[in-house]
Amino acid sequence: MRGVVFDGKQARVVDDLEIRDPGPGEVLVAISAAGLCHSDLSVIDGTIPFPPPVVLGHEGAGVVEAVGSGVTHVVPGDHVSLSTLANCGACADCDRGRPTMCRKAIGMPGQPFSQGGKPLYQFASNSAFAERTIVKAVQAVKIPKDIPLTSAALIGCGVLTGVGAVLNRAKVDRGETVVVIGTGGIGLNVLQGARIAGATTIVAIDANPAKEAVARQFGATHFIVASAARDSSAAVKEILPRGADHAFECVGNVKLIRQAIDLLDRHGQAVLLGVPGFKEEAAFQVSSMYLDKTIMGCRYGSSRPQRDIALYAELYRQGKLLLDELVTKVYPVEDFDKAVDDAHHGRVARGVLTF
pLDDT tens-place string over residues 45-66: 988 889 999 999 999 999 999 9
Residue 26 CB: number of other CB atoms within 10 A? 23
Query: What are the residues whose beta carbons fall under 8 Å from the beta carbon of 87, sequence distance 6 or more?
Result: 93, 94, 99, 100, 102, 104, 105, 138
- Which residues of the chain fall short of a pLDDT of 50? none
Query: What are the residues whose beta carbons fall under 8 Å from the beta carbon of 24, sequence distance 6 or more?
Result: 68, 69, 70
What are the C-alpha distances in Å from 207 to residues 37, 134, 354?
19, 39, 30
pLDDT, residue 229, reads 56
The structure's pTM equals 0.94
Q: Is 158 strand, coil or helix?
A: helix
pLDDT, residue 160, reads 97
pLDDT, residue 100, reads 95
